[in-house]
Structure 1
Amino acid sequence: MFLEHSTDTVAGRLKESIPVTAAINPRESMRALPRFAQPFLTWLTGMPLIDEKPLVVWTPVGRSLAAFAIVISGLLLGCLILRFSNWWLFGLPVSWLITANGIRDLYTVTEHYCIHDTYSEVHWVDVLVGEVISTVLLAAPVDLFRADHLKHHAVPRLDSDPDVLFLKSTGFHRGMTRQEFRAYIARTCVSPVYHGRYLWSRIVSNLTAPAHRVAMTIVYVVILCCALTLFHGWTVWTVIWTVPAVFLFQVASLVNYHSEHLWDDVSGATGREAIARVCVGRFCGEPVPATDGRGTFARLGLWAIWWVRIFAVHLPHRLLILPGDQSQHDLHHRRPRSDWANAAFVRRDDVLAGAPGWPIGYIDVWGSLVDHLDACVDPYGSKKIVRHAPTAYRAPLR
């Protein structure tokens, strides 16, 4: 692996940077909160403190099992809400969000690393795991996913990038203003045409894949239909599965394809410069409130607002759009063989080391879903972007 986990040497050498970093890194401002809250805040934001060590060192299999458990938890919660609760209108969205998080984690993290052969590093195992996941989720089969995704790695954000071609097919075009882009996102997220075409492409890809993969799809669908018929589960399954696996999955895909890279013009750049200019880390959260000189009730009010935004704004964003290592997806483009199961700490250490071997340092964007989308479409106008200097670590640049 490129980097090990956080070391005392790195943390000690950079301890003096904490006050400087805290001024523009919202995560460092959260250092004042109780220690027991720090692991949650690290997960939520996607950013560890610069001297923090991981509470758990994950393995790829552990990550996948956790994602699977999240899917099962979301489905069970949905069943319980439908069976026992009169508050289903309020409870089901929570179930859908949890289920969608696990589904997206399995697809954008586990299957993604399977197609890169960096899941188990045994090719046939990675193919098998990827095919099982894509079959159950009615997602892109491994061969198709690999072919398109490797092209994306070669030319991110250029017009020949398969992701760019997909986004253009949804009505996006370069040069949109923030207002035009926001309207396009909102319109497309609820567009029956967008969802219908996306779902149809998922079905077609599963039925035109290699013979073994088509057989897997048919067997899975037959078993599922028989089970749902035998146990009279069609209505429940439609409610608890279709929304997260179709609607929310496809909304998350649209938003993620846009926000994972900046819409910077790199047509004249090559190699690592082009990659570094469009790759960005996406972090949820905002600085803790400044309460110095405030009265007791004012301080309580500011903290209440901050925590409400954590749970009502940033948590749903993290769950739906940024499962697993998606906050640190830029690390994958820079260090494809790095320890992705612990990406938050690996990326943090690479930032502090100055991104050796790269002409441009890491780029962070902080804030809400809207902040991330604004930054992606307006990378030089956003005030939520932090550009780190390469080579020896210095204070991040605005």
Structure 2
Amino acid sequence: MSERHLTPGGRGYLMVNAHPQGAAATVDMLWRQLPQQEAAAEKSPVVVVVGFSAGYGLAATLAAARRGAVGVGVAYEADETRRRTASAGWYHAARTAELAAGWTFLNTDAFADTAKTEVIKELAQRYGRVDHLIYSIAAPRRTDPVTDQVHRSVILPLGQASTAKTLEFTDGRPFIGGSTLQPATDAERDATVKVMGGEDWQRWIDALAEADLLADGFTTTALTYVGSDLTADLYRNGTIGAAKGHLEASAHHLGTRLADLGGRAFTAVAGATVTQASTAIPSIALYTSLLHHVLGDEGFLTTAQQMRALWSQLAAEEPLSLDDAGRIRLDGWELDATVQSQVRTRWEQINTENVTDHADAGWFRRQVGQLHGWNVPGIDVDLPSQTTVPWPPEPTV
């Protein structure tokens, strides 16, 4: 193993390397936002998180561990033999394992049946029946385990072309651009549903049920997003929205199936945040920057704060905040009418000349860097870094 001097590499919001110590420090930042709680039951709850290494999945895993839960996390991350450094998610996993005692973390394609077999083996040997499964997958492609067909997701409007304002940077300076996208074909829409919809989620529940590993009262929750009408053309009314609609229909189907166990299935609508998945969506960068400008750090809820609220509801410590569609709503702070009115005013007025007056562009850019371990307080990126970090070993107990 050797130390290397690292500098951020990438184009736009896509980064091709990560800072190992910075990525670990971002996990620590989330961990500190979550208070330690003892498990209410004599036996620690058993949790499976599908997609644990970044974004809401990472926050959900840390929040569960803080509550005394144990279990299995699944992610698909690259080591440094496949890129300039290991992925940020790889480094997140290594640090999460140091904090979350009693957890097993598997690096495997969650869409594959082999991943489900691996998790079932771990559960049977170490943990027993599952109390909760959190599903938090955002992926560009999925290989159907039945047909071997590769489906690729796209971020496109449906029905007609859509033009939206975008936040971009040149030499670190923000400017307002524009993006026009043509409507998706039916095939592109269907492929996106195959990747981002509820089919794989249902296969996870099928596999656990067939292995007799669902506990009485089992609950499963898939994370989703609704967002503002300002971003609806490219999100909720587009291909991603079609996939989210399928995810929500899957929750109703699963809920009916699980009723015999006293079980439940939900989608949980999280609020806006800066994640690797969200930065790929045109206009989301601008919208999120405007939203943070309106709310500030105090009003803009982090992934950790939102996942803490989710677990409080799933554990019946607080009442479920359900909408008419049966979805758990964690986004009231974002979609408050007064907040949205202020965001809309800024959206309509913003241009390159006044961007820093209306949007927290610098904050957004720092947040994107932190997704990969850059711009993290207390981390000196000028020092050489050890980039070879092993994947977490299985727990010894």
- Please, what TM-score do these two structures have when normalized by structure 2? 0.25
- Please, what TM-score do these two structures have when normalized by structure 1? 0.25
Q: Which has the larger radius of gyration?
A: 1
Identify the structure with the greater strand proportion.
2
Identify the structure with the greater helix proportion.
1
